[in-house]
Amino acid sequence: MALLRSLFLSAFLLSSINAARFNDLDVDKVELSDVSFNIASSRFQIVDATGSSAGPSCSLLQNAYRRYYDYIFSGVKSAASGAVSPELTQLQVLITSADSECDGFPGITSDESYELTVDQPTALLKAANVWGALHGLETFSQLVYEDDFGAKTINSAKISDFPRFRHRGILLDSSRHYLSTKVILANLELMAMNKFNVFHWHIVDDISFPYMSRTFPQLSKKGAYHPYTHVYTPADVKMVIEFARTRGIRVVPEFDTPGHTQSWGKGQTNLLTPCYSGSAPSGTFGPVNPILNSTYDFMSQFFKEISTVFPDAYVHLGGDEVDFTCWKSNPDIQKFMEQQGFGKDYSKLESFYIQKLLEIVTATKKGYMIWQEVFDNGVKLKPDTVVHVWMGNELNEELSKVTAAGFNTILSAPWYLNYISYGQDWQTYYKVEPLSFDGSEEQKKLVIGGEACMWGEYVDGTNLTPRLWPRASAVGERLWSNKSVRDIGDAYARLSLHRCRMVRRGFPAEPLFSGFCPQEYQGL
């Protein structure tokens, strides 16, 4: 029974292993034995292996070693095994590439694979760079369990692991409700535990502008809920980016225009379109005004700043849900439409604006992600554009069209976790197959991953974490694990225990169903 105990007490471990034992084609990728070893907190160490390109100067790994040591042994009281067992005294970490990437940032093409061998007296974790090593440390920590006498134990294992999809994201919305940096960092930690690698930061929207811009400080001064308490200072943003980096997570900011911009207009005069009631201004404003040169001057300066603040190669430019009502009411817009030959087709005006914005962002040497409407409206896009599919109607048809056009695609439509219901909705998220659309193998290679989204209308720091986890863990498994790993009963057993692991580590992950955790959440 030792092997069975290891598999279940390493709950969701096989969510982390993309070659799980259920897959007949990949059984050589994972070997788990019933031979067990004790791990004593007073003698066990995580160290750099001889010949590793990342040595003691790599603070990213050194801090990760301490973090995972604490996770493995946190709350442990002195315990002795009832049987005399061999002891595992070290986990050695070997980075094989000449460039460990210790001081760099993860990217869309980063190698996240690793190999883990657990044998007595030393375990070996081998990865090309630090990003794979971070995932391997998480897997090692999940392999550790307590025997019947409370002693930390691990089974002999050989694992070769890698993600199925290279973009595995979580979207958090910090505009509709402000999220403290403490809450954001906690969820970055949980993302690492579930092998997500992209934090999609929907940082501003209609309702508030909490991003503190150095170039345009009035945006947050007038657009945030409060100019001092409900903003992200440059130091806050830098801290989030660095915390994410040290956990192998990219930070992709979203600044959505021309719609979703009411908060922008509070601090930037003439940016938004004046709406009319009949022949007179109504005093309200609509989307970004696309006919003024000042609009593009502002966007050029703003995105130049964004390109220096956020190091990732991509920025999300939004482009969704643009309401044309205000544009239609404005006589200056109507005259511009006539001059441009757009007729009454306001989607052409939207495309006119988006095209200019994409040129601005391209000049900053950034790639861009956009919501699917930008593609649907026929805007000319760079070949490396990532199209974000979010609309649930005709989902497979959309994926077929986007990939047929040759664009990389990420999927969110089935994974809007802000929608809640009574029962185990995680199963719905788990059953999604991202590549079920009609298309060639080349098309399906263009689906680079997906994101679980937590929009903020009804979510703030009080309920974000339990609402997101462990429901997002089901999405994490779908994006990391082999397509064949689909057994709901097996996933429930592993996910229940993984939820308890997150609780034991101090995070309020909500229960899947009736039951208990050996170490319950103790509150703040």
Active site residues: 321
How many other CB atoms sit within 10 Å of the CB of residue 312?
22
Q: Please answer whether residues 240 and 247 qualify as being in contact, where contact means their C-beta atoms are separated by less than 8 angstroms.
A: no
Instruction: Return the residue matching tokens 């402000």.
Output: 178
Q: Which residues of 430-468 are buried (b: 16+ CB within 10 A; e: fewer)?
A: bebebbebebeeebbebbbbbbbbbbbeebeeeebbbbb
Strands in 174-295 per DSSP E: 198-202, 250-254, 272-277, 280-288
CB distance 383 to 331 below 8 Å: no
Residue whose token pair is 């554009």: 385
Closest residue by Cα to residue 132 from 159, 153, 171, 151? 159
Tokens of 448: 């680079």
Q: Give 413-417 contacts, CB < 8 A, sequence gap 24+.
A: 413/389, 415/450, 415/451, 415/452, 415/453, 415/475, 416/390, 416/453, 416/455, 417/452, 417/453, 417/454, 417/467, 417/468, 417/471, 417/472, 417/475
User: Cα–Cα distance between 438 and 461 in angstroms, integer?
Assistant: 40
d(C-alpha 505, C-alpha 519), whole Å: 9
* Strand pairing report for 90-95 and 198-202: unpaired
- Work out whether the CA dihedral 504, 509, 515, 521 comes out positive or negative: positive
Question: How far, in Å, CA of 114 to CA of 93, rounded?
Answer: 10
Distance in angstroms (rounded) separating the CA atoms of residues 94 and 25: 28
Per DSSP, the three-state class of 332 is: helix
- 32 vs 126: CA distance, rounded Å: 17
For the chain, what is the total number of helices (H) and then of strands (E)? 18, 17
Q: How far apart are CA 385 and CA 406, in angstroms?
A: 10
Q: Determine the residue type at 461.
A: G
Phi, psi of 518 (to 5 degrees): -55, -35
**For the chain, how long is the longest CA-to-CA vector?**
89
Sequence-separated (6 or more) residues with CB below 8 Å from residue 264: 204, 209, 219, 223, 257, 271, 272, 288
